[in-house]
Each structure stands twice: as C-alpha cells, then as structure tokens.
Amino acid sequence: MDKKSVQSGLKKGLTNYGDEGFSLFLRKAFIKGAGYTEDALSRPIVGIANTGSGYNPCHGNAPQLIEAVKRGVMLAGGLPIEFPTISIAESFSHPTSMYLRNLMSMDTEEMIRAQPMDAVVLIGGCDKTVPAQLMGAAAAGVPAIQLVTGAMLTGSHRGERVGACTDCRRFWARFRGEEIDAHEIDEVNNQLVPTVGTCSVMGTASTMACIAEALGIMLPGGASAPAVTADRIRIAERTGATAVAMIGQQLTPERILTPDAFENALRVLLAIGGSTNGIIHLTAIAGRLGVKIDLGEVDRMARETPVLVDLKPSGKHYMEDLHKAGGLTTVLREIRPLLHLDTLTVTGRTLGEELDAAPASFSQEVVRPFDKPIYPQGGVAVLHGNLAPGGAIIKQSAANPALMEHEARAVVFENAEDLARRIDDPELDVETDDVLVLKGIGPIGAPGMPEAGYIPIPKKLAKLGVKDMVRVSDGRMSGTAAGTIVLHVTPESAIGGPLALVQSGDRIRLSVANRSIDVLVSEEELARRAQSLAPRTQDPAARGYRKLFLTSITQADQGCDFDFLAAAEMTAKVPKPRG
C-alpha cells in the first residue's frame, strides 16, 4: 500500500490491527453500515465537532449550524462527519467551567487525532468552549476553522432593553439593595435570556468570538452574527465550504496562529473592552504553540490602544448592535495601523486583503472613531506590586474612575465559604471605603479559579446605595461584570502567594495610574506571617481528573493550562517589545 495514501480521507489514522489493508477494510465495512457509498467515502473528510448539549443553552442552535456546515462541505465536494465532544456551559458547570476547560481541550485534541479527518470545524460559543477547542486544535496539526454559535438577542423588561449577563448582575444588585422586590426580580428573570446563544454583551463568549476572528482562525465577519439569525446560518454554510478549501492549502493552525496573529488578537481584546478572561485564554492557546504572552508588554500595548466598542459592560450597546454596525471589520478598520496585516486567515488570504475586500464602511454609533474612543486606553491594565509579584489584572474600562487611585483598610475573607457566611451579616465590620479581599479562589485554591472575584457588595452597604468598592482576589470575574475589581493576583494564596498574608485591618493601595497593587505592611512583618502559614497539603480524596488538575495546573500568568500540554519550548514572546 502506498504510504502516502494513508494520510488522507478514510485512510487517515488507521486503527492498528497489524494489517493496514484489513484495518481499512474493517473501517469501510462499519461506516457503510451507516449508509455511505464508495463515492462518498472517497472524498476529503471534514470533521464537525458537535458540542450541543441539553445543559448548554448557549449551544442550543448547534443542530441548525451542523446542518448548514454539512451543506457547505458537500457543496464544496467534501464528506462531513460530525462527532461529539464534551460541552461546557458556564452556569451549569460545577465547581466552575474553567475547571473543565483543559479537559475539553484534551477531548478535542484527542478526537481530532484519533478519527480520520482532513479538516475540522469547531463549533463552540459559551465562554470556555472556544478557547478549549482552539487549545486542542492548535496542537492537533489538522486544518481547523472556528464557528461560534453566536450571541442571543436582547429582551425587554417594562420597556427597558435587557440582556444577559451584565443586566443579570445589575438587577440582582438592585434586588440585594432592596430597590426592587421578589416579584420584579422574577419578572426580569424571564426576559434576560430571550433566545438561545451566548451572552449578548462583551463578556467572555463575545470576546473569544472576536479574538478568534482577529486570529484569522474564523471567517471574516463570523464573530458578531446573532445565534438565531439567517446570517449565522449562512456563515455556518460558508465555514463548511472553507474547511474543504483549507485541506488543499494545508492551512493548519500553526500557519495561522502565529506570533503576529496573537498580537492582533491582543490588540482587538483591548480595543473592544474585552473580558479579562481573554488574557488567560489567549495565553493558554499561544502556549500550546510555543508563544509566550508577556503581561508587561500587554500593558504597554494597552496604553496606546483605546476602547472603541460601545458595548456593555464598558458601554451601553449589545452584540446584535455591533453586528448591525458592520461587526468586527468596523473595529479592525479603525485600528488598522496597529495591526499586522500580512497574517494569514482561513480563507487563504491575509487580514489586510480581507479588510480591503470587505463591504464599505458606513455611519454607525457602536464603534467609535480611533480619535474619539469611549475610553482612552485599552480595557485591561496589568498591575504589579508586593501583593501581586507575578501580576494582576483590572478591567479599567469597566471600573469606577473615583476608585482607581485608592488606599483603604482591607476586609478579608479567607475563602468562598467564609465570604458566603459573612458578607450579608449586619454585624460585618465594613465601611464604604474599605477594600474587600477574597483569598482561596485561584487555580488550585478553589479549585478551578471561579468567577467569584466579583465579590458582592455587603448587604448592609448595598441597602445604603453603595454600587462599587475596590475588590481584590486571586480568582476571575465574568466578562459581563463591571466594577473596580483586581483579579488574577499571582501567585495565588493557596500556594503561599502574598495574598495569603493579608489580614483584616491592613491597608491596601491601588494605583491604576502607576499600575500597582500593594499591601502596606513591612517586609519583616510579611516574612513573619509567612513563617506561620500552614504548609500546603494534598487533598487525600483527590482522584481522576481532580487529581490531575491539582498536580498539573499552572498559574494565571501561564494561562491556567496543564504544564504537560504547553509546548516543550517557548520560541517567541508577544507582544514584541518596542525598539
């Protein structure tokens, strides 16, 4: 048998029975049981990763997308074969969806490797599914193209336009502050998610969709079309056809996901006011390909990249409005001088060529001109200091300007359970100007680094109308949330990071202007406290995936990936330093 012939179509990756001829014979016999003809089986195969799940309403339109992708593949002369992987839904995953992201990435990578396919369409949408798929596909070496499920449409509550999940948090805060009653919170609960699809604001799902398009691993225009529109179905059909074309060009992920492509994605993340989670996910995807993201250079990039997209939580609009405003293309045109235009996309053309070929610009109000931004610097700022020697993140575009230079007393919660037990206690010793500190919610501490960094305002203060306080943790925050919230404090408290040493009554100084976060305690006192920390112990009950997670997870600055999944060597660093 010609060795080259086993590298494509049904002959690719044969099961090992010790006889290649028999392996192919057996494979064809079984697949013919599903009704395939020899003609169908002779065509290039496009795998379609199906992440539909009854537990994942963000992927509720997956069946329609799969049918459209299949149509596109067949129109282009290929054979589409769908296959399942696990599906992660943000609000249905215990203890947190981030805990399962690496598992989904492994599932995706191994199924691409294990099954015969010449290209793969990755259908994702909910927060951790797109990064998981790109992490897996990056290492699998098969031409891959991302298709997102798309954002939900907005609803209406008593004449007010609402959408998940920024408005979820806004109305819940009003309920906690007793501004609205139980009847009204039940009413709005029925309107916040009026259709299937991902969150309708610039949360993590929308951020990752825009990042995928900026990376070139998604069709131009593919990020913004809402889930329940004909535009989304047409994009799916084109995705299927493009996947077939990618086979002949051998457009594998490593040709598209280059260091320059990651720089473009970071630039877009900053310009759209994207989720802080996007930094972690991009770091993990890049790490699979030997590209290291330098947080210091990200901050330098942020200082020169304004926020242009007027979407919640940094602005006022929703994803469907961005789509009507021309989608990400409108943003890319505004920041074009800052982009690497020669990066390759899944179409086989460069980013610059795609921008030149896109429909003409038109007047709209969602994407601001470069010289008239909604925020003068990128949405994310990187902080360092004695509280975060490895770095921390703040979404400055969604913070309160009055709190971004702030020094006050710390009110400390040792872990999520301590927070739940005391946050609403009327006797809690807390004042409006205090800094809320939550430990133990990092990658190992939780485990899984949950989105608990959005610490609720203590109920006694919420009733007084307090809407924001400085909050500090080693966890994450939903991209749909707003507030003056310091996240991803590294190293985390569970492994003895400085956050573990903070005590109630200590003073904490935040200076976004100086990019610093410090606890105002002497080095001698911190050293004394470190000596009294209890040594970290392994969970004796840990088994299976949990044990793998706890022994292999890296910190936020390394993408919270498993140490054995990153590339053996980091061969590039982005963003590239000036000069």
431 and 445 part of one domain: yes
User: Over the range 507-531, which residues count as b (16 or more CB within 10 Å of their CB) and which as e?
Assistant: ebbbebeebbbbbebeeeebeeeee
420 in the same domain as 479: yes
pLDDT, position 546: 95
Residue 3 has pLDDT above 80, yes or no: no
Across residues 424-433, what is the average pLDDT? 97
Task: Summarize the chain as % helix, strand, coil (round to 5).
Answer: 40, 15, 45
Per-residue confidence (pLDDT) for residue 579, from 0 to 100: 63
Q: Is residue 558 part of a domain?
A: no
**DSSP state letters, 517-541:** EEE---HHHHHHHHHHSPPP---TT
Q: What is the CATH number of the domain that holds 61?
A: 3.40.50.2300
Indicate the number of domains in the chain. Answer: 4
Domain housing 16: 10-42
For 323-343, what is the mean pLDDT? 98
Average pLDDT over residues 521-545: 91
Mean pLDDT within 541-562: 96
Is the pLDDT assigned to residue 263 strictly greater than 70? yes
Whether 445 contacts 492, CB under 8 Å: yes
pLDDT digits (tens, 9 = 90+) for 125-139: 999 999 999 999 999
- Name the average pLDDT for the chain: 96
Domain boundary among 189, 210, 242: 189
Regarding whether 185 and 123 lie in a shared domain, the answer is no
CB 252 within 8 Å of CB 142: yes
Averaged over 248-254, what is the pLDDT?
96
The yes-or-no verdict on residue 191 having pLDDT over 90 is yes
Residue 103 CA to residue 93 CA, distance in Å, equals 13
Structure tokens at 208: 């990752």
**467 part of a folded domain:** yes
Q: Residue 371 above 50 pLDDT?
A: yes
Residues 315 and 232 in one domain: yes
Alpha helices in 216-337 (DSSP H): 230-249, 253-256, 259-271, 277-288, 295-303, 319-324, 328-334
* CA dist., res. 313 & res. 176, Å (int): 20
Q: Are 47 and 83 in contact (CB under 8 A)?
A: yes
- Is there a domain that residue 131 lies in? yes
Mean pLDDT calculated for residue range 294-316: 96
The confidence score (pLDDT) of residue 2 equals 42
Inter-axis angle of helices 97-114 and 544-552, nearest 10: 100
Same domain, 109 and 203: yes
Can you say whether residue 77 is alpha, beta or left, with left for phi > 0 and alpha for psi between -120 and 50 degrees?
Answer: left
342 lies in the same domain as 473: no
Same domain, 103 and 147: yes
pLDDT at 345 over 90: yes
Asked, for residue 440, whether it belongs to a domain, the answer is yes
Question: Is a pLDDT exceeding 70 seen at residue 1?
Answer: no
Same domain, 320 and 397: no
| CA torsion, ordered 52, 54, 60, 64, to nearest 10 deg | 60
The answer as to whether 495 is a domain residue is yes
In this prediction, residue 469 carries a pLDDT of: 98
Do 106 and 170 belong to one domain? Answer: no
One domain, residues 396 and 535: yes
Q: What is the pLDDT of residues 28-58, one digit of tens each?
A: 999 999 999 999 999 999 999 999 999 999 9
pLDDT band at 541 (very low <50, low <70, confident <90, very high): confident
Give domain status of residue 363, yes or no: no
Q: Is 484 in contact with 467 (CB distance < 8 Å)?
A: no
Mean pLDDT of the region 421-435: 97
Q: 269 pLDDT band (50/70/90 cuts)?
A: very high
Same-domain status, 332 and 461: no
Is residue 57 domain-resident?
Answer: yes
Same domain, 200 and 54: yes
DSSP 83: E
For residues 238-263, give the mean pLDDT.
98
Three-state DSSP class for residue 493:
helix
pLDDT of residue 6: 42
Residues 138, 96: Cα–Cα separation, whole Å: 24
Residue 367 domain flag: no
Q: Buried b vs exposed e over 265-303: b needs ≥16 C-beta within 10 Å?
A: bbbbbbbbbbbbbbbbbbbbbbbbbebbbbbebbbbbbe
pLDDT band at residue 7, thresholds of 50, 70 and 90? confident
Residue 348, token pair as written in the block: 């086989």
